[in-house]
Structure formats: C-alpha cells, structure tokens
Amino acid sequence: MKKIARSAPSRKSPQTGPLLRLTVRRAAGELSRGWLIAGGLTIPVALGGGGILANKREGDGGTPRGTFRPLRLWWRADRSPRPRTHLPIRIIGSDDAWCEDPASRHYNRPIHRSPASEGDRLMRDDHLYDLIVEIDHNTRPRVAGRGSAVFLHLARDNFGPTAGCVAMTRPNLTRLLARLGPNTKIVIG
C-alpha cells in the first residue's frame, strides 16, 4: 500500500505573523540614534534630539521611554502602494493634522485643519510622513504637556534627529509594517 504524505497543519511562521514585541534602544555614544530590534530584524533608527526621556514633555525633542502599542497606520496613498500590515489603515487626506496644543481639548489627537490653519500636518511636502504608525503614547489618560504626535515614521536622508519620534528608512519601515499588529508591544528605552 502506498503511503500518502500529509502536510502539517497550517501555522503562521514566526517570521510572518505579527510581532509580540519590539525594542528600541539608544546607540552607544549617540543621543539621537538607536536600534530597533524585533523578530530577527535589527534596524537603525533616528530618535528625538533629546534622546530617550523618562519624563517626556511637549517640545523637549525627546523620545518617550515606556511600553506602547501601535494603533493604526496612516498612509499617503498618492505616493506609494498600500503596504502589508496587520494594523488598521487610514489614508492621509489634505486636511489631516495632529493637535499639539496642550490647551486644546483635542490635544494629542488627529484633527482636521483647513490649509490656512496651523498644526502638525500629516500631508507634508517631504516624505517623512508618507507612512506613520500611530502609537498609544499619552492617550489613556491624555495629560496636557506630556507629549503629542509620537510616531514611527520615515527618517530624513541624513538620519537627522526627530522631534521625539522613532524614524527609519522606507524599506525597513515597510518590512516592519508587515510584522506589526495591534498587540505588538513597542518597548522604548
């Protein structure tokens, strides 16, 4: 009698399923550069000019120390194809912005702004915000002045410091997005 080969039950490979955890650490001797380590990936990143800070404040240029979760991907559909990710996706529109005013009831939340209004615009001329991973820094509870608009996003060409975000190259962020899910823990520090 001929034996029939049976395939093993289908399981998500540890290299393709959502990551459980990723860690961001400062590079030795570098205040505004670091490493993101996750699931076999080691990615160079740009950090806030103030380094990683335990006591993050609005405008201090620091990247907040702590454990966070990714909430959703904001994506410029006019600049690149839809990336693969386990996160919810929202297309960035011309009136999308982020409230950085601690006196506003919308502080550290997405808002809509007319072209003449101020605010951290998500549709920028440069490519830094073509892909933005919104994280839950200072969201529950939101505390005025404890920092806003902290994202994972694309780095400047010279890998210059961010205003407090974690930034990386497009190929690395695209690779990471394929592995990020709502339950991924982002540990900074």
Which tens digit of pLDDT belongs to each residue from 142-179?
Answer: 999 999 999 999 999 999 999 999 999 999 999 999 99
d(C-alpha 88, C-alpha 71), whole Å: 7
Report, as an integer, the average pLDDT of 21-28: 97
Residue 16 has a pLDDT of: 66
Residue 13 has a pLDDT of: 42
Tell whether 1 is covered by a domain.
no
- One-character DSSP codes across the chain: ------PPPP---TTTSPPSEEEEEEPTT-SSEEEEEETTEEEEEE-BTT-EESS--TTS-PEEPEEE-EEEEEE-TTTSPPPP-SS-EEEPPTTEEE---TTSTTTTSEEE--TTS-SEESS-SSSTTSEEEEE-TT-TT--TTS----EEEEPPTT---BSS-EEE-HHHHHHHHTT--TT-EEEE-
Tell whether 14 is covered by a domain.
no
- What is the domain count for the chain? 1
Dihedral pair phi/psi, residue 169, rounded to 5°: -70, 160
- CATH number, domain of 89, equals 2.40.440.10
Tell whether 33 is covered by a domain.
yes
List the domain range (segments joined by +) for residue 126.
21-188
Report, as an integer, the average pLDDT of 63-80: 98
pTM: 0.89
Tell whether 9 is covered by a domain.
no
d(C-alpha 184, C-alpha 172), whole Å: 17
Residue 97 has a pLDDT of: 95
Question: What percentage of the chain exceeds 70 in pLDDT?
Answer: 89
Q: In one letter, which amino acid is 47? A: L
Lowest mean pLDDT, pick from 6-15, 165-174, 178-187: 6-15
Query: What mean pLDDT value characterizes the chain?
Result: 91
Tell whether 53 is covered by a domain.
yes
d(C-alpha 85, C-alpha 75), whole Å: 11
d(C-alpha 32, C-alpha 156), whole Å: 13
Tell whether 157 is covered by a domain.
yes
Is residue 6 pLDDT above 90, yes or no?
Answer: no
Is residue 3 pLDDT above 50, yes or no?
Answer: no
